[in-house]
Amino acid sequence: MTTLIDFFIRRPITTLCLNGGILLLGLFCYTQTSIDLFPPVNLPTLTLIIPAPGLSSSDISEKITKPLEEQLNTLPKLKQLRSETKPNEVQFLLKFHWNTSIDFSAMAVREALKMVSLPTEAHDPILLRWNPAQDPILRADLS
């Protein structure tokens, strides 16, 4: 370590040129790098909502949630499946691996929905893509 320090102390011109080269390289890289304040991010996440007015949570769980979970678990590249059964509706959160096309995943979910017969009380399923650009930056609740 001391030999390196001695080298730069004995050769000030070389030290100055090396520092200038590093500075020019940094300025060149700075001008060539594009920085976006809000880069486009497509998260491989889908939300499936099935409204079923008039059905209790236990009926929804038996008639909708369990059959759909069995069918959705067979989707390719599915990383996580979470369901939440509430009175009058059920929600599924499907997370896929990062290299997954969300368009093809949405088509696969629609095909899986066709394989399951929903009760007559259930309305048409709603398939949503989550976009972080649509989330509010600040949320204030007043009470």
- Residue pair 105/82 in contact (Cβ under 8 Å)? The answer is no
From 5-14, 71-80, 104-113, 132-141, the region with the lowest mean pLDDT: 132-141
| CA dist., res. 39 & res. 29, Å (int) | 19
CA distance 122 to 53: 7
Distance of CA 113 to the CA centre of its chain: 22
pLDDT band at 36 (very low <50, low <70, confident <90, very high): confident
Where is pLDDT greater, at 58 or 134?
Answer: 58
Mean pLDDT of 101-108: 90
Instruction: Give the phi and the psi of residue 3 in degrees, each rounded to 5.
Output: -70, -35
